[in-house]
Structure formats: C-alpha cells, structure tokens
A and B are shown apart, each in its own frame.
Chain A
Amino acid sequence: MVIVSKLKKVFPDGTVALDGISLKVEEGQFTVILGPSGAGKTTLLRSINGLVKPSTGDVTVDGIKVIDENYRKIRTLVGMVFQHFNLVGNLSVIKNVMSGSLGTHQKWWSNLFLFPKSHQMKALDLLDRVGLLDKAYNRADELSGGEQQRVGIARAMMQEPKVLLADEPVASVDPTNSRNILSLLRDMCKEKNVTVLCSLHQVDLALQFSDRIVGFTDGKLIFNNNTSNLDRNSLRKIYDETSVEGMFFGSDMKTPDIKHIQWKE
C-alpha cells in the first residue's frame, strides 16, 4: 500500500510540480496516473522511490516512510519501469534482467557480473514469460523498442517488488506493442499481487487497463476514483480548458499575416 500525504514539490527554478497531493493506493491495484505532459506524473512516481525529494509532505510504502535512511530498503520493495527502458545496452538481456536482483544480491562477486544459479533460472523464467527466452544471451541493444521494454518489465519483476512504478512505459512503443506490453505488465502484477502505479497520457489505454484512475493537471489532483467512474467532464478537467481553447483557435480563426504590418521606426 502506498500513502501519499500533502506532497508538495517545488523545483529550484520555481516550478511547482506537485501542489499538495494526498493519495492512497490499495494493495494489488493497477492505478493509472493520467494527465497531460508537465502535469507532475513523473515527479509523483519518482518521489515514491525517493528519486525526487519532496519539498513538504511525505510518502510511505508498505508502512515505511520514504526518507534518506530508508532509501535502500524502499528501493528493494519498489520496482521501476522507465519510458526509455534504461537497459544497459552492451550487457546481455539476461544480465539486464538479473540486475533487478542487485538490491538483495550483494556478494562481492556480483561486481564481476556473476549471479547465483537460482537467479539465472528465475531470469530465464521471466524472459520466457515475456516471450524473449530465445534472446536471453543477445545484447540488449540488439532488441527492438517493444522487446526492450519487455526486458524492462522482466527486470522490475526480478526484484519481486511489492510496488511497481511505470513511468510512461509505452510512450516510446508503437500502438500494437503498447497494448501487449500493458497487458503483460497487468497480468504479471495481478498474478503476484503487485501494486502498480503507471503514468500514461493515452486515455484509451488507461480506460482499458486500469482499476483506478488518478487525474492530474498542473500538479493538482483533479480525479481520483475507480476507472468505471471516469466521465467526459472529469476528462475535460484533466485535459484542461487551455487545450480546448487551442482547438478553437486552430479551427475557427486565421493567424494574422504579419507581412502586411508596417514597422514604424
């Protein structure tokens, strides 16, 4: 279970990324964080595993407060899947997956890229689950984008996380692959009762895969309810009026032609 209370994050340049967010995510739920880019989705996710330090407010994961002293502990509980996959390109696929267990495998020989046999078997098992067993010993950068993200998911699951954070996991993947990857992510997490927080900007995907939707605009919570309760009005609020006005300008008004304006010195 993840509890976020009165979380506020102001970046040094004055940007308010999160403006007093309070949120409770139930265990085993697949929650999608929906909102336009710049809404604060990434900042929220990153503050859950301590990659971003909140200005005020706090986060607890599984009863443990996310603060400096607990980072290592929190990060073994929380897995992460990234928008740009973040695989180590010149390591093999299986080593990338096994690196997910580094939080618990801390023997000195882990630095020689060596893992216990049980970890190797588990990595192969996960790679089979994501359909990439045949590519276990290929270099990670030989894989296509969709395949790399599936390795990313296997790496996160290798960690046996209680909570999985997915930051725009399908933003760099084509639409067909997007669905495959999200359903894989959903199935694997449901099976192990992993709580998922996944940021997306595609409304259709959010509706299809989530149990609950959290809607964001300008760092503020606009919507926080079961997916079935998301209606047109709430959607309009998430993708706020500015974009609606933009559409209006685009269709009905012509941009003035500045060539005809006479400059007076």
Chain B
Amino acid sequence: MNTKSNKVKLKMVAVPATKGKMDDKFRSLLETIENITEFKLEFHEADTYDEAIESLVNGKAQIAWLGRSAFHKAVKKVKLDSLAVPSGDDESIYRTVLIIPHRAKISSPNDLKGKRLILSEKGSTSGDLIPRHILTQNGLNPEISTNFSEVIYAGSQKEAALKIIKGEGDVAALSDVNLKEMLDNGILQKKDIKIIYESKPIPGAPIVCLKSLHPDVKEELRKAILQAHKFGAVNGYGTNVEHYESPQEARFNFLKAHLKPQVGIKTIAVSLGLLFLTILVSVHLKISPKVIFSSFSYFADIIGRMMPPDFSDLGNLVIAMIETIEIGFLGTVFAVLISIPISLMAAKNITKSKFLYYPAHLITTFFRAVPEFIIAMILVISVGFGALPGVLALGLHTMGFLSKFYAEEMEHVRTGPIEAIEATGANWFQKITYSIIPQILPSFMGNTLYILDRNIRMATILGIVGAGGIGYRLQSAFRMFKYREVSAIIIIIFITIFIIDLISTKVRHSVK
C-alpha cells in the first residue's frame, strides 16, 4: 500500500474562463481521479490567461485547461498533449449567445447595425473570437467601423452582462455557461434580457498535459479521466459535462454533428412526384405497353407493302427535293432579313424605348407560338398552292426564333468592351459595330446555320398542306396508296438531310 507521501504530485492550472469559479468546475473530476489513481492533484485558477500559459512553460503546472484561444497561444511556446475532451449529450459543451435588453426592438442579428457592442475579454474564445466570427458571418464584421457605433470590452462576461442591464450597451456576447450561472445566482433576471442568437455548440476545450510528462503517467492520467464517470462525479467546463472522451473520438463526434444527408428530401420528393405524374398522365391518355405491342403486326404489314422502294419517277422526285431545299433556303433568308431589325428592338441593352421593346417581343412570341404548318395552311388559302406559301410560312415562324436568339445573344454580350468603345467617344452605330457585332458574330452564324438546316428539314413536310416541294409528292403518293413510292421518297429525304447535316456541322464548327 502506498502512503500519501508516495503519491505522484501533479498540479493543474486553469484559465479564468469564469472568474473565481474554476475550482468548482473541476473539483469533483479531480477528486474522482485521486480516488482511482495514485495521483495527488493540486488545482490552481490563474488570474490571467497568460499566467496559466506561463506556469506550463516553466513547469510549475503539468496539467491544464486552457480553453481554446489560450490553448492555441500555448502550443507555440510549449509542447502539449491533449488528454481528453469533455462531452455529454448533444447539448454538452457551450454556445455563444447574444443578449440584448428586454425592451430593445431588435429581433435578429441583422438589426444590430450601428448599435453598441459589448464583448468581454479581448482574446477569449466565447467572449471575443467566436462572437466576432459569428457577427462577421452575418455581415457585421466588428472590425468595420460602420457596423457598430462602438465596440466595448467589459473585462469579463459578468461585467458584459451587467452593462446590458445598466443600458451601457445594446448587445453583449457571452457563453451560455456563464449566462446560466448568472441567472441561477440571481445576478441577472430572466425578464431583463432577451437572447437573440445562439451559436452551434462549440466543441469543448481539452484537458492538456505537458508532452514531456512521463509516458506512463500520461497514459494512466488519460485512462483515469476517460473512465472517471464510471467511478464518481465528473464535471468540467461546459453546460452539461457527463464524461470525457479521447481527442480522436471528440473530433469524430464534432465532425459528425456537421454531417447532413447526401440526398435531400427535396430531391426525393421531386423524383417521386415526377414518377407519379408520368404514371398519371399515361393512364389519362390510355397509353399502355399492351397497345404498343399489339399494334406491332399492323406496323409490320405496312412496312411490307412499302418494299421494295419504287424509284421509277426518280428524276421528278429529285427535282421536287431540290425545290424543297430552295424553299428552306429562301425562307431562312427571309427570316434573317426581318430578324435583324426586330432583334435590335428586342434587345434590352440596345433599345431604350418600351414602345419598341414590347411590340418586338409580342411579334416574335406570336410567330414562335404558331407552328409553320398552320401559317402555311392559311397562306395556301390566301396566296394559292406552290412554293410561295412555304417560303413565307418558314420565314415568319423562324423569324420568331432567330429574333429571340439574336436578341438574347446581344443582351449577353460582355459590357466591358462596350464601355471601352463608348469611352473613346464613339457614336451609337460605331458602338454596335465595334463592340457588339464582333462578339455575337460566331453565335449569329451558328444559329443561322442551325435554322437553315432545320428549315430544309421542315420544308419537306410543309408540302403536305400544299406548299410545294417533295412533301406534296409524299402526300399524293399516300393518297394513291403508292406505298413503294412513299418509301423511295423517304429514302431520298433521308439522304438529303444526312448530307445537309454533315455540311452544316462542318460549317458551324469552322465559324467558331
């Protein structure tokens, strides 16, 4: 049996996070450790943070609780090891709170602009560093003089709270550990103050020891702290310390508190909603896989009657195809010519007048909304059969698209070059030719070529309503049940479109 004199004497120092109360905070933990080990522990609350660090540096104390800010300062001067970190339930450690006088008309940190801010002690974590961080994140960096009319250091958290009651400041930042204690002791009354902000839990600061301490002593001490809660009362700095955990464990739990699910509820809800909608719409439209499969035999039948393709009238079909290409080409030229002035009117950064902007938008939207098929049907009735209604229908409909494309392109032009050209004293036209046109030219060409490509494709079926070209032949062949000629026409259209597609892709790449 060891006698008392054989016990290893160790001294623990703590920073005065709550002045005069630090002994209370650690007493029962230290007593439990003394009971389960051979250590004799002496406790000392330092007067200042620096004094605590100093006593570690000169070896007067071997164990310490330094809070966070003094800990970071201390590791620059002396090698320390973390022994254990306080923990409890989720609410374990402390939070920083912002309090205001009860009657003040402030409801969130956003209303604090221009007010008097009270912090407790310069450099302390819960009373200075964390509040600064929180305020900065809310756009109220105390370093910027316009955010607060005054930043006052009260000296301690108690003084900070008292200043609020006395009306010597508008908002004070302190830790909820201290706040609770002041409320319990009756220094503060609940009705006098209001809490407007509470931070996320701030992880507890570790109990540390000198790295130079003997490894066996260190190990035994660590074990004792981690197991202390099984043998007796445990306490420490924090609202609800229930036990201590290893620094690794503490780190893991701290990070885990920040973890959020990988897939949001929103994503799941939207996915399920879309699935449900798809099923609902299919049911409403009476579309079922069964019908699709049962119509397969009819489909096979008509394909059979289309074989082999009948190319006996090839010459005329090719002429009709060429006519179709011409209709698409002329329609595009027509669309481009109208689109240029209209897009200038529809681009917000170029037109300043609403009387041009809104009519231009109305016209383009209208022609985009009405399919060329319908425009062509109306035109066939008014101007008669042939190529003209096809050209006009394509031109008007795609004008709606091209004007929108061009206008949007102009609106998204980088403004820097425009400013630079304006700054040289150039006039309105020069501004457009020098700063806008060079920027939009590549996409202008790209969009136009895409519309040309599309118009030629669309021209093939426009003939169905009597607007000339190969579509007209296609429709007649269907009417006369010449299915073999139908397949020949489809092949001709396919080959033509394939070639046009190749050319247009090549050209579009070369204008970039």
Residues in B234-275 with C-beta less than 8 Å from chain A = 251-252, 255-256, 258-260, 262-263
Chain A residues within an 8 Å CB radius of B424: none
Residues in A80-132 with C-beta less than 8 Å from chain B = 113-115, 117, 120-121, 124-125, 128
| B255:A121 contact, CB within 8 angstroms | yes
Q: A121-B252, A124-B255, A125-B255 are in contact. Are A137 and B260 (CB under 8 A)?
A: yes
Partner of B262, one of A120, A128, A133, A134: A120
Chain B residues within an 8 Å CB radius of A114: 262-263
The 9 A-B residue pairs whose C-beta atoms are closest, nearest first, are A124-B255, A114-B262, A124-B258, A137-B260, A121-B255, A125-B255, A133-B258, A120-B259, A136-B258
Nearest chain A residue, comparing its CB with the CB of B256: A121
Chain B residues within an 8 Å CB radius of A134: 137
Nearest chain A residue, comparing its CB with the CB of B263: A114
- Seed contacts A125-B255, A133-B255; 11 additional CB < 8 Å A-B pairs: A113-B262, A114-B263, A120-B262, A121-B255, A121-B256, A124-B255, A124-B258, A125-B251, A133-B258, A136-B258, A137-B260
Interface size on A, residues (CB 8 A): 13
Nearest chain B residue, comparing its CB with the CB of A98: B262
Q: Chain B's nearest CB lies how many Å from the CB of A137? A: 6
Q: Chain A's nearest CB lies how many Å from the CB of B147? A: 19
Interface centre among B252, B256, B262 (most CB of A within 10 A): B262
Q: Chain B's nearest CB lies how many Å from the CB of A148? A: 17
Q: Chain B's nearest CB lies how many Å from the CB of A48? A: 31
Chain A residues within an 8 Å CB radius of B263: 114
Nearest chain B residue, comparing its CB with the CB of A124: B255
Chain A residues within an 8 Å CB radius of B260: 136-137
Chain A residues within an 8 Å CB radius of B255: 121, 124-125, 128, 133
Chain A residues within an 8 Å CB radius of B262: 113-115, 120
Q: Chain A's nearest CB lies how many Å from the CB of B240? A: 23
Chain B residues within an 8 Å CB radius of A121: 252, 255-256, 259
Chain A residues within an 8 Å CB radius of B137: 134
Chain B residues within an 8 Å CB radius of A125: 251, 255
Tell me, in angstroms, the Cα distance from A137 to B258 when the chains sit together: 9
Residues in B204-253 with C-beta less than 8 Å from chain A = 251-252
Chain A residues within an 8 Å CB radius of B252: 121
Q: Chain B's nearest CB lies how many Å from the CB of A144? A: 13
- Count: A-B pairs, CB below 8 Å: 23
Q: Chain A's nearest CB lies how many Å from the CB of B388? A: 48
Chain A residues within an 8 Å CB radius of B258: 124, 133, 136
Chain B residues within an 8 Å CB radius of A124: 255, 258-259
Q: Which A residues have a C-beta under 8 Å from some C-beta of B?
A: 113-115, 117, 120-121, 124-125, 128, 133-134, 136-137
Q: Chain A's nearest CB lies how many Å from the CB of B127? A: 20
Tell me, in angstroms, the Cα distance from A26 to B265 when the chains sit together: 49
Tell me, in angstroms, the Cα distance from A41 to B356 when the chains sit together: 53
Chain A residues within an 8 Å CB radius of B256: 121
Nearest chain B residue, comparing its CB with the CB of A115: B262
Chain B residues within an 8 Å CB radius of A115: 262
Tell me, in angstroms, the Cα distance from A124 to B263 when the chains sit together: 17
Tell me, in angstroms, the Cα distance from A86 to B256 when the chains sit together: 28
Q: What are 6 A-B residue pairs whose CB atoms fall within 8 Å in the complex?
A: A115-B262, A117-B259, A120-B262, A121-B252, A121-B259, A136-B258
Tell me, in angstroms, the Cα distance from A102 to B258 when the chains sit together: 22
Chain A residues within an 8 Å CB radius of B251: 125
Tell me, in angstroms, the Cα distance from A114 to B267 when the chains sit together: 13
Tell me, in angstroms, the Cα distance from A128 to B203 when the chains sit together: 13
Tell me, in angstroms, the Cα distance from A113 to B267 when the chains sit together: 12
Tell me, in angstroms, the Cα distance from A134 to B137 when the chains sit together: 10
Tell me, in angstroms, the Cα distance from A114 to B261 when the chains sit together: 10
Nearest chain B residue, comparing its CB with the CB of A137: B260
Tell me, in angstroms, the Cα distance from A23 to B197 when the chains sit together: 57
Chain B residues within an 8 Å CB radius of A133: 255, 258
Q: Chain B's nearest CB lies how many Å from the CB of A195? A: 27
Tell me, in angstroms, the Cα distance from A54 to B251 when the chains sit together: 45
Q: Chain A's nearest CB lies how many Å from the CB of B70? A: 20
Tell me, in angstroms, the Cα distance from A133 to B263 when the chains sit together: 19
Interface centre among B251, B260, B263 (most CB of A within 10 A): B260
Q: Chain A's nearest CB lies how many Å from the CB of B227? A: 26
Q: Chain A's nearest CB lies how many Å from the CB of B308? A: 46
Chain B residues within an 8 Å CB radius of A117: 259
Nearest chain A residue, comparing its CB with the CB of B254: A128
Tell me, in angstroms, the Cα distance from A120 to B256 when the chains sit together: 9
Q: Chain A's nearest CB lies how many Å from the CB of B400? A: 31
Tell me, in angstroms, the Cα distance from A119 to B255 when the chains sit together: 12
Tell me, in angstroms, the Cα distance from A133 to B251 when the chains sit together: 13
Tell me, in angstroms, the Cα distance from A178 to B150 when the chains sit together: 32
Tell me, in angstroms, the Cα distance from A32 to B252 when the chains sit together: 35
Q: Chain A's nearest CB lies how many Å from the CB of B415? A: 20
Q: Chain B's nearest CB lies how many Å from the CB of A125? A: 6
Tell me, in angstroms, the Cα distance from A178 to B135 when the chains sit together: 24
Q: Chain A's nearest CB lies how many Å from the CB of B437? A: 28
Q: Chain A's nearest CB lies how many Å from the CB of B263? A: 7
Q: Chain B's nearest CB lies how many Å from the CB of A106? A: 17
Q: Chain A's nearest CB lies how many Å from the CB of B274? A: 16
Tell me, in angstroms, the Cα distance from A114 to B262 when the chains sit together: 7
Nearest chain B residue, comparing its CB with the CB of A120: B259
Nearest chain B residue, comparing its CB with the CB of A95: B262
Tell me, in angstroms, the Cα distance from A114 to B251 when the chains sit together: 23
Tell me, in angstroms, the Cα distance from A115 to B256 when the chains sit together: 15
Tell me, in angstroms, the Cα distance from A128 to B259 when the chains sit together: 12
Q: Chain A's nearest CB lies how many Å from the CB of B69? A: 16
Tell me, in angstroms, the Cα distance from A124 to B137 when the chains sit together: 19
Q: Chain B's nearest CB lies how many Å from the CB of A131? A: 10
Tell me, in angstroms, the Cα distance from A125 to B248 when the chains sit together: 12
Tell me, in angstroms, the Cα distance from A137 to B266 when the chains sit together: 15
Q: Chain A's nearest CB lies how many Å from the CB of B166? A: 34
Contact with A along B442-454 (1 / 0, CB 8 A): 0000000000000
Q: Chain A's nearest CB lies how many Å from the CB of B96? A: 14
Nearest chain B residue, comparing its CB with the CB of A134: B137
Chain B residues within an 8 Å CB radius of A137: 260
Tell me, in angstroms, the Cα distance from A113 to B261 when the chains sit together: 12
Nearest chain B residue, comparing its CB with the CB of A128: B255
Q: Chain A's nearest CB lies how many Å from the CB of B248? A: 11
Residues in B254-298 with C-beta less than 8 Å from chain A = 255-256, 258-260, 262-263
Chain B residues within an 8 Å CB radius of A120: 259, 262
Tell me, in angstroms, the Cα distance from A125 to B258 when the chains sit together: 10
Tell me, in angstroms, the Cα distance from A114 to B259 when the chains sit together: 14
Tell me, in angstroms, the Cα distance from A37 to B260 when the chains sit together: 43
Q: Chain A's nearest CB lies how many Å from the CB of B255? A: 4
Tell me, in angstroms, the Cα distance from A125 to B251 when the chains sit together: 9
Tell me, in angstroms, the Cα distance from A158 to B256 when the chains sit together: 17
Q: Chain B's nearest CB lies how many Å from the CB of A116? A: 10
Nearest chain B residue, comparing its CB with the CB of A94: B260
Q: Chain A's nearest CB lies how many Å from the CB of B247? A: 13
Residues in B283-320 with C-beta less than 8 Å from chain A = none
Q: Chain B's nearest CB lies how many Å from the CB of A250? A: 24
